[in-house]
Structure 1
Amino acid sequence: MAIEVVTREDLNEFRSLLLNDLKEIIQSKPQQTKQWLKSSEVRKLLNISPGTLQNLRINGTLTYTKIGGIMYYDHADIEKLLNGNKVNALPTLFK
């Protein structure tokens, strides 16, 4: 029975191949996101309370469509809201 030695270079090569394969799999599958989300889905997505979501509606931060008492939010509007409020982190200083 032959013994094979696995080196760090072998592990790094395997890691690179595995990452490339995963990237290809992720990029080949189109993400299936719903265009219209209900209030409960938005609250879960943003991890916010019903009151916070109501405040976002009232002050016009997040647009919505109301049909038969159910409020729907466009996924693209939520992404715009998140991207519009990005904050660049300051680099940390080493002590």
Structure 2
Amino acid sequence: MSHPFQESLKNIEQRLVELSKIVTSRQSQYTEDMFIDNDEFQRLMKISPGTATNWREQGLIAYSQINNKIYYKMKDVNKLLDDNYRPFKKK
């Protein structure tokens, strides 16, 4: 027979696991939908302003523009990297 304290502890552990899953899924969703500006994009990718412009003009990265300010969704940055991924080839 289980002790009530042990049952309560198991319920708390189960709830923590459920909450952890919720937090993890929301964090990844927030990160993917988050926007960064052009300066942050250039720092993140370690590229020059001209390279960022070329990538936009070539259609390599989706972006939003409001007046002279440019923004990128993190999911589009990840897509750029995924689309240009070259897997390691064994010799």
Name the residue aligned to 2:54.
55
Q: CA deviation at 1:71?
A: 0.5
Consecutive unaligned residues in structure 1, runs of 5 or more: 1-26
Q: Which structure has the higher relative contact order (CA within 8 Å, separation 6+)?
A: 2
State the TM-score, normalized to the length of structure 2.
Answer: 0.61
Structure-2 separation of matches of 1:85 and 1:43: 17
- Write the deviation string for residues 36-55 of structure 1: whole angstroms up to 9, x where unpaired: 11001101111111111000
Identity, % of aligned pairs? 30
Superposition RMSD in Å: 2.0
State how many pairs are aligned.
Answer: 66
Unpaired segments ≥5 residues, structure 2: 1-20
Q: Secondary structure at the match of 2:60?
A: coil
Deviation at 1:91, TM superposition (A): 2.5
Matching of residues 1-95 of structure 1 within 5 Å: 30=27, 33=31, 35-91=34-90
Q: CA offsets per residue over residues 39-81 of structure 1, 9 Å max, x none?
A: 0110111111111100001111111111131011111111111
Give the TM-score, by structure 1 length. Answer: 0.59
